[in-house]
């Protein structure tokens, strides 16, 4: 594998990126009335305006050449074709198969996986309809009112994000998400619930995750204490790839919805992990969610790179990370239903491309995945946008909004959109010294006061943003939006030459936690760590012992 930085296309890219860093966006727009049209694109229900980036045709063409030199098109075909591109785990990467139509054929090890996908979907649809129409009864014969998803990471973030985003399409049940092993969360949630009408979904790809199993045991004990063992079958279902562990936990595998090792946890909301979404929004809406993602898959697989939305978003990211030294990427959704989107994208992007070893085992000599951060934009305006506007860092940002917003009043929505549009204009244009001076003059300030204030009132502008418009935050457009980011992550991983589909970096902390857990409960035995960890373990152990005494 030729190192990325040795490719001639890399050298050209770096040189053109230096030139692009000098672009003045305000001037670029003044000089070229067609800029926004040329650098915009519509697909799968999404509109992307990427004209407010530090780009020109020359740097874009260098980026597309770089992508081709990294064999992006072949790698993309290998992913869609079911090849084992997750080479450290020897697995295919086929979340796209989860939203493929029934008649499609995608083979893994010689077997068409699409019929299996639809068989599980059909079971999920039947189960969901049963629960939604009140025919699934709890141990006292009552219908379900509350659903609790117990899962963490990819077994929590997608369902939580999507059920929040699609609340207007749901509303049938009260949904609760238990993820942390801080027992405060599950205790507070259980305190609100009636065991007779609560359904628990234990969601874990591996069914070995300590946090999830600890919470599932607590929920099971809570139920059994108020009912009996037989109630478990009526109040617990599992979602997993590990039927043996589900059975060993005490959940009937008839109440299990499976998926496959070729679905990564952070790519799994389209699989049985999406059961809470399905229960919340019903079969037709869930099918629309899958259809939106499939539309984006088709676009990504077939559109030329130059007109390919995930490719363009990914290459813009490469431009800032590798061409301009940017360290982070801001996600600013404006619609409140999308409030969990940044958290969802943090796992999707950072667990995928937070890597420093390439597929050939060599360390990279360039930066890879940036820090992804953000929250709903209107709140962010009143919190940290100051730094984005006038701070010292280059922070590319994605601004995301739906043009229609049925859950809001026209007045609220107009103000929201006005702010959304104003921020990207302000970030791009900034405010010159002349503009700031004349504003201060108009306010009647004396000349010396103006000169004192002036430097603080200047906005440098030239802050790059993408604008992504959805028609509505509905299942189809949400599906398309999430698939857009999945493929963006794939493209960046392909260029950086890393495996976007493993996550060995989360293992070390898990191993150490096991050791420390034993040490915390092992009385006064000596522990052997560095002095800092030892000192902190001793304090935690003493606190746990005091707590035991207090409660005895």
How many chain residues bind ligand F6P (CB under 6 A)? 14
- CA dist., res. 205 & res. 119, Å (int): 18
Structure tokens belonging to residue 75 = 């790698």
292: closest CA among 314, 274, 270?
270
Cβ closest to ligand F6P, residue 60 vs residue 246: 246
Shortest Å distance, C-beta 508 to ligand F6P: 11
Looking at beta carbons only, is 159 or 265 nearer to ligand F6P?
265
Question: Which parts of 223-282 interact with ligand F6P (CB under 6 A)?
Answer: 265-266
**Quick one: 513 or 544, whose CB is closer to ligand F6P?**
513
CB of 203 to ligand F6P, least distance (A): 7
Tell me: does residue 155 bind ligand F6P (CB under 6 A).
Answer: yes
Out of 142, 471, 510, 514, the active site residue is 510
Report the residue number, 209 or 346, with the smaller CB distance to ligand F6P: 209
- Select which of 351, 375, 486, 519 is catalytic: 351
Name the burial class of residue 454, with classes exposed (0-12), middle (13-18) and buried (19+) by CB atoms within 10 angstroms of its CB: middle
CB of 510 to ligand F6P, least distance (A): 7
**Rounded to the nearest whole angstrom, what is the least distance from the CB of residue 85 to ligand F6P in the complex?**
17
| Binding status of residue 12 toward ligand F6P by CB under 6 A | no
* Shortest distance in whole angstroms from residue 185 CB to ligand F6P: 16
Q: Is 441 a catalytic residue?
A: no
User: What is the DSSP track for 483-497?
Assistant: HHHHHHHHHHHHHHT
Which range touches ligand F6P (CB under 6 A), out of 45-53, 150-158, 177-185, 488-496? 150-158
How far is it between the farthest Cα atoms of the chain? Answer: 82
- Asked if 503 is part of the footprint of ligand F6P (rule: CB under 6 A), the reply reads yes
Binding track, positions 191-230, relative to ligand F6P; x by CB under 6 A: -------------xxx--x--x------------------
Closest CA to 368 of 357, 354, 380: 354
| Chain-centre distance for alpha carbon 121 | 23
Question: Kind of pairing, strands 328-333 and 397-402?
Answer: parallel
Q: Which of 82, 153, 282, 475 binds ligand F6P (CB under 6 A)?
A: 153
Under rule CB under 6 A, residue 368 binds ligand F6P: no
Supply the DSSP string of 29-56, one letter for each residue: HHH-TTHHHHTEEEETTEEEE-TTSS--
With a CB cutoff of 8 Å and minimum separation 6, the contacts of 492 are 314, 317, 318, 353, 368, 369, 500
Half-sphere exposure of 387 (CA within 13 A, CB side): 11
Q: Closer to ligand F6P at the Cβ: 346 or 466?
A: 346
Answer yes or no: 411 catalytic.
Answer: no
Beta carbon of residue 328, minimum distance to ligand F6P (angstroms, whole number): 21
Is residue 506 part of the contact set for ligand F6P (CB under 6 A)?
yes
Minimum CB distance to ligand F6P, residue 350 (Å): 11
Residues 6 or more apart from 227 whose CB is under 8 A from it? 139, 140, 195, 196, 235
Instruction: Tell me, yes or no, if 174 is annotated catalytic.
Output: no
Nearer to ligand F6P, 238 or 316 (CB): 238
Report, as residue numbers or ranges, the catalytic residues: 351, 382, 510
The site for ligand F6P (CB under 6 A) is made up of 152-155, 204-206, 209, 212, 265-266, 351, 503, 506
């Amino acid at each position: 594998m030729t190192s990325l930085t040795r490719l001639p296309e890399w050298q050209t890219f770096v040189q053109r990126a230096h030139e692009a860093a000098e672009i003045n966006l305000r001037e670029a727009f003044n000089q070229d009335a067609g800029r926004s049209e040329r650098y915009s694109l519509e697909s799968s229900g999404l509109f992307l305006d990427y004209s407010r980036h530090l780009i020109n045709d020359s740097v874009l063409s260098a980026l597309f050449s770089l992508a081709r030199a990294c064999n992006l098109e072949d790698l993309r075909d290998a992913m869609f074709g079911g090849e084992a591109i997750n080479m450290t785990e020897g697995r295919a990467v086929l979340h796209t198969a989860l939203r493929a139509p029934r008649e499609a054929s995608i083979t893994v090890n010689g077997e068409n996986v699409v019929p299996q996908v639809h068989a599980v979907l059909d079971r999920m649809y039947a189960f969901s309809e049963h629960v939604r129409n009140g025919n699934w009864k709890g141990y006292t014969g009552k219908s379900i009112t509350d659903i609790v998803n117990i899962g963490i990471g990819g077994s929590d973030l997608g369902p939580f994000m999507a059920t929040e985003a699609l609340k207007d399409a749901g509303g049938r049940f009260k949904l609760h998400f238990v993820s942390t092993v801080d027992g405060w969360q599950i205790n507070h949630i259980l305190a609100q619930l009636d065991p007779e009408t609560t359904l628990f979904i234990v969601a874990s790809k591996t069914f070995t995750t300590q946090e999830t199993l600890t919470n599932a045991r607590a929920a099971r004990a809570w139920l059994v204490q108020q009912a009996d063992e037989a109630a478990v079958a009526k109040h617990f279902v599992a979602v997993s790839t590990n039927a043996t562990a589900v059975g060993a936990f005490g959940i009937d595998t008839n109440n299990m919805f499976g998926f496959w090792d070729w679905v990564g946890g952070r790519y799994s909301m389209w699989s049985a992990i999406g059961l809470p979404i399905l229960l919340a929004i019903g079969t037709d809406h869930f099918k629309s969610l899958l259809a939106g993602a499939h539309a984006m898959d088709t676009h990504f697989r077939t559109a030329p790179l130059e007109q390919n939305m995930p490719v363009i978003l990914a290459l813009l990211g490469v431009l800032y990370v590798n061409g301009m030294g940017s360290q982070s990427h801001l996600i600013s959704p404006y619609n409140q239903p999308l409030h969990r989107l940044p958290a969802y994208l943090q796992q999707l992007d950072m667990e995928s491309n937070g890597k420093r070893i390439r597929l050939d085992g060599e360390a990279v000599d360039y930066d890879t995945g940036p820090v992804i951060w953000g929250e709903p934009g209107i709140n962010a305006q009143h919190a940290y946008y100051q730094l984005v506007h006038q701070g010292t860092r280059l922070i590319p940002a994605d601004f995301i909004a739906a043009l229609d917003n049925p859950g809001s009043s026209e007045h609220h929505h107009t103000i929201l959109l006005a702010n959304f549009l104003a921020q990207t204009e302000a970030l791009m244009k900034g405010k010159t010294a002349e503009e700031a001076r004349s504003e201060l003059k108009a306010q009647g300030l004396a000349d010396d006061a103006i000169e004192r204030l002036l430097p603080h009132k200047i906005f440098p502008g030239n802050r790059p943003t993408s604008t992504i418009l959805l028609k509505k935050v509905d299942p189809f457009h949400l599906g398309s939006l999430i698939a857009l980011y999945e493929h963006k992550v794939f493209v960046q991983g392909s260029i950086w030459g890393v495996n976007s589909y493993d996550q060995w970096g989360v293992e070390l902390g898990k191993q150490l936690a096991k050791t420390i857990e034993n040490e915390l409960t092992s009385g006064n035995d000596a522990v052997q760590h560095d002095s800092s960890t030892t000192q902190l373990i001793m304090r935690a152990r003493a606190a746990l012992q005091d707590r035991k005494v207090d409660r005895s």
